Amino acid sequence: MMHLRVWIGAALLLVAQGLWAQEEQVISGTITDGSQALQDVRISVEGSDTQVFTDAQGKYQVAASPGDLLMYSYTGMKEYRVRVEDVTRFLNLIMIPDIQELDEVTVTKSNRKSQADLAAEYRTNPNLIQTAYGIIDATTAPGKIRIMTDEQIAPIGLCVLDVIRNRFAGVWAVGDCMRGGYIVIRGPGSISRARVAMYDVDGQIFSDVPLWLDVNSIKRMAIVSSLAFNVRYGASAENSGGVIIINTVNGQAAVAAKQQDQARLKNNYVTGKVLSGTEVAQGAPAYLKALENAPTLEEAQKAYYEYEASYNASPYFYLDAFLHFSERSGGIAVAEEIGTAQRKKWSQNATLLKVLAYRYQELGMPDEALDLYKDIFILRPHYSQSYLDLARAYRAAGEAGKAAAMYARYKYLLDEGYLTASEEFGKIIQHESDNLLALEGRSLGADPRKVQTDPYVDGSTRVVVEWNDSEAEFDLQFVNPEGQYTTWKHTYADNEALILDEKDNGYSVAEFVIDENLPGTWKVNAVYHGNKSLTPTYVKITTYTRYGQRGQQQQVRTFRLQLKGVNQELLTLVNPGVSVVR
């Protein structure tokens, strides 16, 4: 074991040295405000004296190395920070106004607001929450208070447990609405050592989850783990796992009487146009239309060779052709010929190799996908996702032992400081590792009964979304069987901290869990916003049903995103609901 530890450490040290020793690469782009070019945008490399400015056409060029952080600054606009990767060559940005909302200031004898002042502000200030001990302001109260408003609560759940699930880091909703459960507010650690929360609902204190509460009546909900705040609830709160404060519409008569009449009128039903795959294809490149419209495989091949003369410099032409032939009847041999030839040309481009791997996984060709993920790992051993990808590829190829070893190696490198930790990614890779041990632990010499899995994902429908280009920005819309939706935004403007975390830690994956108590047919739609280089982004979606159980099943689908600004249908999935198999 000592020899193994030394080898891994030395190897990663060489990797790190090699990473930062890479030569500079020239990055070009155009900066606009969405309608016209911006001149004199400052582009600088953090930690160096390098800086350039855009010209009258908004164009620029800057030299930087992989790992460098580019800063884009312009007066009145939100600053952008972009981490340079090995494949970064073009970065076209649309800058948005940096709007700072200033609170109205009134000079009085005291700058501490009274309860009357806070009551008057409650309707318009989403940072206020009514407790059994008065109204508090989350921005000034002691400790960390996280508030969710009615606009953020999609009424697709059955009870408070559903509302809480997957909404706050470090908060677990255990159990279900029919059989009961509890909520844990905690930091990292074992759930067996965690303490459950207590509840303040419109000033009334409860120790059990208020399953009776109609989620459509919730006005605001706050998650409080601060001992400095909880102490006012007495010893019971000090010994609990925090307090969950819930304000309902009817319960706010004293602080916001006018709000009662609005009665949570939320129109979160899908009403706009959602383009089908056929409609999206109408905006595809001419060569892709020619391939799709070819009535036979032979005529499709003929169209491919005709267009190749004009598009041979574009890797996306070959990717699209590979994807087309791989799903066309009798075309897999043609697809493999294209993929094999281009793989050699793309040997240094992980984003292109990933698309080939995605489709091989979709086709149920695990050995071919594994070979590609090995190549990607060699290119990006400093990316957290490289370990996840290779572990899952080993598992799919029937090599569970090597998959477990990859998860162990990732943990070791985290512990030794060769890789940095990410809360978001850590949750995903932990679920994958636990799932391997729970379902295949006996073959690895482990006892699956001793594997402590996350009750949040157990038995659920789990959706894992991955994208090949880390610069991709898009919205995902999840539509429940009743036609109501919730949206996850993967854009710099809406989710800057997450995107920077992805770039800093090297991952392009997100997971979503559909509770087993919400059965039926769900839809997943997407709105694509681009990837800063005017090229398509390829998305892989893996859906698991009855996750972590003996009847677990999964399906892989690959999608091409290029048409911008429209809501397009990706897939439908069936959530089977509560399972009795454990």
pLDDT at 322 over 90: yes
Non-local CB neighbours of 42 within 8 Å, separated by 6+ positions? 51, 52, 53, 71, 72, 73, 74
Between 3-12, 24-33, 405-414, 484-493, the lowest mean confidence (pLDDT) is in 3-12
- The domain segmentation of the chain, as residue ranges, is 25-102, 115-262, 346-575
pLDDT at 17 over 50: no
Class of the CATH domain delimited by 115-262: mainly beta
Between 129-138, 298-307, 400-409, the lowest mean confidence (pLDDT) is in 129-138
Residue whose pair of structure tokens reads 């056929």 in the numeric block: 278
CA–CA distance from 548 to each of 437, 479, 515 (Å)? Answer: 10, 24, 14
Pairing type for strands 520-530 and 567-575 reads antiparallel
**What CATH architecture does domain 346-575 belong to?**
Alpha Horseshoe (1.25)
Token pair for residue 112?
């501490």
Q: What percent of the chain has pLDDT over 90?
A: 47
Give one DSSP letter per residue of 358-405, joined into a string.
HHHHHTT-HHHHHHHHHHHHHH-TT-HHHHHHHHHHHHHTT-HHHHHH
Topology of domain 25-102, CATH:
Immunoglobulin-like (2.60.40)
Contact 432, 548 (CB under 8 A): no
Between 283-287, 301-305, 317-321, the lowest mean confidence (pLDDT) is in 283-287
pLDDT at 217: 85
Helix locations, 455-491, DSSP H:
none
Q: What percent of the chain has pLDDT over 70?
A: 84
pLDDT at 193 over 80: no
Residues 421 and 418: their CA atoms lie apart, in Å, by 10
The dihedral sign for the CA sequence 276, 282, 287, 289: positive
Q: What is the mean pLDDT of the chain?
A: 83
- Average pLDDT, integer, range 467-487: 90
CA–CA distance from 161 to each of 89, 194, 195 (Å)? Answer: 45, 17, 16
Pairing type for strands 537-545 and 59-64 reads unpaired
Residue whose pair of structure tokens reads 């091989």 in the numeric block: 360
Q: Which amino acid is at 565?
A: G
Summarised one tens digit per residue, pLDDT across range 337-359 is 999 999 999 999 999 999 999 99
Contact 177, 211 (CB under 8 A): yes
Token pair for residue 304?
């491919």
Summarised one tens digit per residue, pLDDT across range 69-121 is 999 999 888 888 888 988 888 899 888 887 655 444 444 433 457 777 788 78
Contact 470, 437 (CB under 8 A): no
